[in-house]
A and B are shown apart, each in its own frame.
Chain A
Amino acid sequence: MSQRRVELTLTVNGQRYEAAVEPRKTLADTLREDCGLTGTHLGCEHGVCGACTVLVDDEPVRSCLMFAVQCGSQAIRTVEGLADGDRLHPIQQAFWEHHGLQCGFCTPGFLMLATSVLESRPDIGDEELREVLASNLCRCTGYQNIITSVHAARDQMRS
């Protein structure tokens, strides 16, 4: 059953995108297919893996569990918005330096989750950071290098 499309304007990484989507289209699919921002990855599509994590008004959200029509004037941030041209964001640089990824599929979700928590709580302790990072799944790294990377980014962003 095809459905009437809804016209909407999304603000992603400070840029406006016009899209006409069915109400059932998730924010994740809309970002990928209508905005052409394929950095956001879809893993499980039921809110368990966290690969599709993006920031909505600076808070981390599973974009597979939000419909695009639910976004009003909220500011969306995706992995494409992290780097400044060729200059990596400190969290990206830390993942690079500390081997925080292997296949890279889960990486955009971890980067956005970590960015959000380090921006809102720059002094977060190691134990709480572990709890936050437990939100997302990675099947390659065994998590230790992800944790090391986020610790390094936290220390760098604080200084």
Chain B
Amino acid sequence: MKPAAFEYHAPRTLEEALGLLHEHQDEAKVLAGGQSLVPAMNFRLARPAVLVDIAHVPGLDRIETNDPASVTVGARVRHLDLEHNTIAGPLGSLFAMTGRWVGHYPIRVRGTFGGSLAHADPAAEWCALASALDAELHCRSTSGSRTVGARDFFEQMAFTTCLEPDELLVGVRLPRLSDSCGVGMAEFARRWGDFAIVLAVTAVERDGDSIARARIALGGVAGGPVRASNAEAALAGRPATAGTVAEAAAAAAEEVDPTGDIHGSADYRRDLVRAMVTRALDQALA
């Protein structure tokens, strides 16, 4: 339960960090909050030869709110800072209600938003949120920068993203949600703070008594976050009633293809999808 030896670097600038990643390629791992990487290292499931600690890279811990259309969350913003964020409107509410489900309080003190996305646990709350809102992920390397949509960032294999070994996720741009947008988040785990068995994140734009557009992302049902597109289609343009919600939840349960494991059978997860989508939509429409 002790990690293998590694070379430790704590770069002071982004350029220096990117240079180290370029030099060491897949021998190197980025250390941010360490709440997933260090357990894996203690188990020796991960044995990186080099750790690049980005704690001192300036700017990565900021939440940029100057743009009226979007918010950009720095990769090193902590779970706790998103749980207690000051972002106005429904986006801030969604971050707050989702953040409190991420691990336990001491984990949220250290763990980071970007770290969670780059780690890409299939049951991670932030991955589902990024997927639901079609987040744009800013990635940097010594050869340049690129912006990748959440849909392309997460591969449909657990713990896998499109990040190259020498690329660093630096920030994530999310659309501000309009004030007529309701948000909801529901999760089921056996004990408080455990990894989700199934979770659902929703944002629903209202048009009077009907639903203009709904976004629903699920965690725990595949290798990466999944958009429940049939359920979204079942809501668009429909009246905001319990009946509509029930139809959408049934559609979500129908369109997922979960695999069973020690935490729950495929059928059980499918039923949880129906229940979590119902709960999340009820919150969003309340």
For the complex, would chain A's binding face be called helix, strand, loop or mixed by DSSP majority?
Answer: mixed
Chain A positions within 8 Å of B, measured between CB atoms, are 1-3, 6, 22-24, 26, 29, 45-47, 50, 53, 59-62, 64-67, 69-70, 113, 117, 131-132, 134-135
A155, B173: Cα distance in complex, Å:
43
Contact B8 A6 (CB under 8 A): yes
Contact A24 B106 (CB under 8 A): no
Chain B positions within 8 Å of A, measured between CB atoms, are 1-8, 10, 31, 34-35, 38-39, 41-43, 51, 53, 55, 100, 104-107, 109-110, 191-193
For A2, the chain B residues whose CB sits under 8 A away are 5
Q: Could you list 27 A-B pairs, sorted by A, with CB under 8 Å?
A: A6-B8, A23-B5, A23-B51, A24-B41, A26-B38, A46-B1, A46-B42, A46-B43, A47-B35, A47-B39, A47-B107, A59-B109, A60-B106, A61-B106, A65-B38, A65-B39, A65-B42, A66-B38, A67-B38, A70-B10, A70-B55, A117-B105, A131-B105, A134-B191, A134-B193, A135-B105, A135-B193
A134, B191: Cα distance in complex, Å:
9
A157, B23: Cα distance in complex, Å:
53
A53, B191: Cα distance in complex, Å:
20
For A47, the chain B residues whose CB sits under 8 A away are 35, 38-39, 107
User: If the complex has contacts A23-B8, A45-B1, A70-B53, are A134 and B104 also in contact, measured as CB distance less than 8 A?
Assistant: yes
Interface contacts (Cβ under 8 Å), in number, total 88
